[in-house]
Each structure stands twice: as structure tokens, then as C-alpha cells.
């Protein structure tokens, strides 16, 4: 048993026990709106820490070439089982911090409850790694948790901290509050939909 969310076992235990309060169980409305405005033919997307991968089919339907990674075997198995053999092939058992992924470098990185799931000390590494995985001018989009930082995961983000983390390598191009009814209870009223563009 580990209580360290940087270790796969932390997540394995929770997936096996079906204790996954972060799981939205579908495609967040903010992502649906984004995909309607930003269709993806000819573009690639990486989903780090994809968990059950609810968003994979939505990206594929919008025309993106999808690569989703997770380092928890039960999460990968669940995602592949749900998606079936064709779309399930987009799900890779891999550590976000290591190696290269199919379809990279990416036009888009989409994340939900990934940055907030890892120890706060790893944030600079997440941002730096994301930059290396994106094309120059590529976009980092997703739902970010601006809630409590203590006793996570999830560990909340603060605006000044986000600026210090991202602004050197990314330009903030969208920052919208997510209506509370669009989030699971754990995140209600504390999520923001953000887009950042990789600075060349
Ligand atoms: C809070 S869950 C979120 C899952 C999914 N994004 C969602 O919204 O349901 C965090 C996920 O990140 C995965 N994860 C954490 N560190 C990782 C790493 N270094 N490489 C790949 N996956 C990682 C965990 O296994 C877990 O599935």
C-alpha cells in the first residue's frame, strides 16, 4: 500500500476498489464546446493520465489522432475494455515522464485531473515535459482545479502559482470558469477551462 500519488500503486488500489471520486463518467461540457469550435482533422492530441479515457472517442470523432497514456494497469485495462479494439489501441500503458509516444510531437495536450493528481513538487516537471511533447505553437488545454491544496489529491492550483509555472513557456489564451453543475461534486465551482499556447 502506498499513499504517494507519484506511484502507480496509489492509483491501482483506487481503480481496483472502484474508489474514483474524480471520475466524471463522460465528456466534460467544456471539452464538448471546445471540440465543436476546434475540430481536429490532421492534428494529434495527447491525453496524459487518461484513466478510463472517457474523452478519447470525442477527440477521435472530432478528427484528432489520439494518444492516451496512463501508468496504472487497471486504468488502462478499464479504458481499453470500454473503448473496444479499435479506439482501445489509442490507450498506452506508459509513464508520462518517460519516452516518446505515437503521433508526437503533438498539436494538442488535453488534461483533466492530472496536474492536480500528482505531488505539487512535480508541477515544474509536468510543465517542462508537456512543452517538450508539444509542437512549437501547440496548445495545452484542459480543466484545472483551483481548490484546496492541502490533503490531496486533488491538490489545488492558485492563479499566481499557475502564472509562475506556465508563463515562461506558454501564453494563456483562454481562462473560463466551469459552471458548478458541469463538474463532479469533488470539483464543483472550483474548475477552470484553460488553453495555453506553447511559446516558440
Ligand atoms: C485523478 S486520475 C485522473 C484520470 C482521468 N484523467 C480522469 O479525468 O478521470 C489521475 C490519473 O493519472 C495517472 N497518472 C499519474 N501519474 C502518471 C504518470 N507519471 N504517467 C502516466 N499516468 C499517470 C493515474 O494512474 C490516474 O489514472
pLDDT at 2 over 90: no
pLDDT at 162 over 80: yes
Half-sphere exposure (Cβ direction) of 92: Cα atoms closer than 13 Å: 17
Regarding the beta carbon of 95 and ligand 1, being less than 6 Å apart is answered yes
pLDDT at 89 over 90: yes
Share of the chain above pLDDT 70, in %: 100
Q: What is the pLDDT of residue 30?
A: 98
Residues 6 or more apart whose Cβ sits within 8 Å of residue 170: 127, 131, 140, 196, 197, 198, 199
pLDDT at 102 over 90: yes
- CA dist 24 and 165 (Å) reads 26
Ligand 1: centre distance to CA 71 (Å) = 7
- 139 phi, psi to nearest 5 deg: -120, 140
Regarding the beta carbon of 50 and ligand 1, being less than 6 Å apart is answered yes
Instruction: For ligand 1, atom 11, name the residue with the nearest CA.
Output: 49
67-77: pLDDT as tens digits: 999 999 999 99
Per DSSP, helices labelled H in the chain are 8-16, 29-37, 56-61, 73-88, 123-133, 159-166
Ligand 1 closest atom vs CA 24: 9
Confidence of residue 25 (pLDDT cuts 50, 70, 90): very high
pLDDT at 200 over 90: no
Q: What is the pLDDT of residue 187?
A: 96
How high does pLDDT run on average in the chain? 97
Ligand 1 closest atom vs CA 116: 1
Q: Could you tell me which residues are beta bridge partners of residue 108? A: 45, 139
Q: Which fold would CATH assign to domain 31-198?
A: Rossmann fold (3.40.50)
For the segment 169-187, the average pLDDT, to the nearest whole number, is 97
Confidence of residue 1 (pLDDT cuts 50, 70, 90): confident
Residue to mutate, 114, 118, 126, ligand 1, most ligand atoms under 8 Å from C-beta: 114
Confidence of residue 184 (pLDDT cuts 50, 70, 90): very high
127-141: pLDDT as tens digits: 999 999 999 999 999
pTM across the whole model: 0.98
Q: What is the pLDDT of residue 31?
A: 98
Amino acid at each position: 500500500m502506498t499513499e504517494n500519488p507519484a506511484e502507480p500503486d496509489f492509483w491501482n488500489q483506487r481503480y481496483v476498489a472502484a474508489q474514483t471520486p474524480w471520475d466524471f463518467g463522460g465528456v466534460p461540457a467544456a471539452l464538448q464546446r471546445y471540440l465543436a469550435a476546434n475540430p481536429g482533422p490532421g492534428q494529434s492530441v495527447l491525453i496524459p493520465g487518461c484513466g478510463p479515457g472517457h474523452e478519447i472517442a470525442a477527440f477521435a470523432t472530432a478528427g484528432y489522432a489520439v494518444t492516451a497514456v496512463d501508468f496504472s494497469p487497471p486504468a488502462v485495462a478499464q479504458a481499453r475494455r470500454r473503448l473496444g479494439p479499435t479506439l482501445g489501441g489509442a490507450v498506452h500503458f506508459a509513464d508520462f515522464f518517460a519516452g516518446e509516444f505515437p503521433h508526437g510531437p503533438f498539436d494538442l495536450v488535453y488534461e483533466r485531473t492530472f496536474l492536480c493528481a500528482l505531488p505539487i513538487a512535480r508541477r515544474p516537471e509536468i510543465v517542462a515535459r508537456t512543452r517538450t511533447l508539444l509542437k512549437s505553437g501547440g496548445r495545452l488545454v484542459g480543466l484545472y482545479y483551483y481548490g484546496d491544496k492541502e490533503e490531496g489529491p486533488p491538490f489545488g492550483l492558485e492563479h499566481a502559482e499557475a502564472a509562475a509555472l506556465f508563463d515562461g513557456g506558454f501564453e494563456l489564451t483562454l481562462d473560463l470558469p466551469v459552471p458548478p453543475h458541469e463538474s463532479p461534486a469533488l470539483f464543483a465551482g472550483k474548475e477552470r477551462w484553460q488553453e495555453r499556447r506553447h511559446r516558440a
